[in-house]
Structure 1
Amino acid sequence: MLRAVFKITAWLLLIAIIAATIVPIGMRPHSGLGPEPERVAAFLVVGLLFGLAYDRNWILALSVVIVAGLGIADA
């Protein structure tokens, strides 16, 4: 049951990160820390959630996070 919560949360957070990346800069959320710490924190949390959700298939979890990070780096 807890793994299902991690899966749902991980995918929703990844979708939120992608949405926050593709909106215009003026509409992006910011914490005041600057863009680099915000990105690191966001991907740290999403990576942790994917790792917890897919602990038996950590290669899949790692691949999803890396591909997502590289995919939205150009956005």
Structure 2
Amino acid sequence: MIVMRPVLEIHAADDFELWPIGEHEPYGHLVLNGEMTPERVGTAVMGARAEHHLPAHATAVSAALARALDLAPAP
């Protein structure tokens, strides 16, 4: 049986500090599913941003992610 899963390629995030991200393998693939932890969701958003899908809206995305994950705002 063939199983297809959506994935997002994740690049290295050496200095990423806009929001919490989970452990991930640099230049690997993150499987997207409904069982992701808040940190893995943060990793996925970081990966999408790194792919230039969200570069102009980083501050707004960061604030929305913080609200969605119920995090304290960054100083």
TM-score range, shorter chain: 0.3 to 0.5
Q: Which structure is higher in RCO with an 8 Å CA cutoff and minimum separation 6?
A: 1
Q: TM-score, normalised by structure 1?
A: 0.34
